[in-house]
């Protein structure tokens, strides 16, 4: 049996402000840093350790990872940073307040933009300074790979090749793997692992900085999955994620 741990980053400044974040590189709040420390403490208590860590190139995930590993007293670990683990790109919505956007366009439209599997939000013009083609983080990335907006299907399609070519190989080689990423990039992997339908993933939410443990068989099929921590508190955090983007 193999064990895989997934961790969404702690609360970011734009999570706090209820903004669409996507590829915008914002930092953690004080609460987010504390959440990351708590996640590390929970895993340390369970005697969980890691050989390899995979994370995005965005600082909110990177800082969460650093705090967790520091709390767990883990130093000798291989860290891989890759844009394929980034959050879903929210296009022209990035930076907008979710509540105000819902009041303007309606809850149903915002739900589609936030959670639809195949409908992307409005694209960000390439001339816009917010477009990732202008970001130094992606200067070596082929222009054709840089999105102007993404639906969840797009996120799945960019994440899974990296899973198959890199992460999965490490797990099958008995590496203890932690993935620190984002709500939608992790939903993409959960959908694949649990063979969830498009309708099911629409309703699935991942709370910030709560370790999600997967026990996998020799074929990397889930035997069990569960969150570490107080289950009532985890449910409250999950409900809070679900309610984002509602006008009421």
Q: Is residue 221 classed exposed, middle or buried when 0-12, 13-18 and 19+ CB atoms within 10 A define those classes?
A: exposed
Decide: helix, strand or coil at residue 220: coil
Catalytic entry in 9, 89, 131, 182: 9
Starting at the edge strand found earlier in the chain, the sheet holding 2-8 runs: 78-81, 52-55, 177-181, 2-8, 212-216, 222-227
Q: Does the active-site annotation cover 9? A: yes
Q: Which residues contact 144 (CB under 8 A, 6 or more apart)?
A: none
Q: Does the active-site annotation cover 87? A: yes
Catalytic entry in 11, 87, 131, 182: 87
For the annotated catalytic residues, the residue numbers are 9, 87
């Amino acid at each position: 049996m193999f064990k895989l741990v997934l961790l969404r980053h702690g609360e970011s400044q734009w999570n706090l402000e209820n903004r669409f974040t996507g590829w915008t590189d914002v930092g953690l709040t004080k609460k987010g840093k504390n959440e990351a420390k708590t996640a590390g403490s929970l895993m340390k208590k369970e005697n969980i350790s890691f050989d390899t860590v995979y994370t995005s190139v965005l600082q909110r995930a990177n800082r969460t990872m650093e705090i967790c590993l520091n709390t767990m007293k883990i130093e000798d670990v291989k860290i891989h940073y890759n844009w394929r683990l980034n959050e879903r790109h929210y296009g022209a919505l990035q930076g907008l307040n979710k509540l105000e956007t819902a009041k303007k366009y309606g809850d149903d439209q915002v739900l589609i933009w936030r959670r639809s599997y195949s409908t992307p939000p409005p694209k960000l013009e390439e001339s816009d300074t917010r477009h990732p083609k202008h970001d130094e983080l992606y200067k070596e990335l082929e222009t054709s790979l840089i999105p102007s907006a993404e639906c969840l299907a797009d996120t799945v399609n960019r994440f899974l090749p990296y899973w198959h070519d890199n992460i999965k190989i490490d797990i099958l080689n008995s590496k203890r793997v932690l993935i620190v990423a984002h709500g939608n990039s992790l939903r993409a992997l959960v959908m694949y692992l649990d063979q969830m339908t498009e309708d099911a993933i629409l309703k699935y939410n991942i709370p910030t900085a709560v370790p999600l443990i997967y026990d996998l068989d020799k074929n990397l099929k889930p035997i069990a999955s569960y969150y570490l921590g107080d289950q009532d508190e985890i449910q409250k955090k999950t409900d809070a994620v679900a309610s984002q983007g509602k006008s009421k």
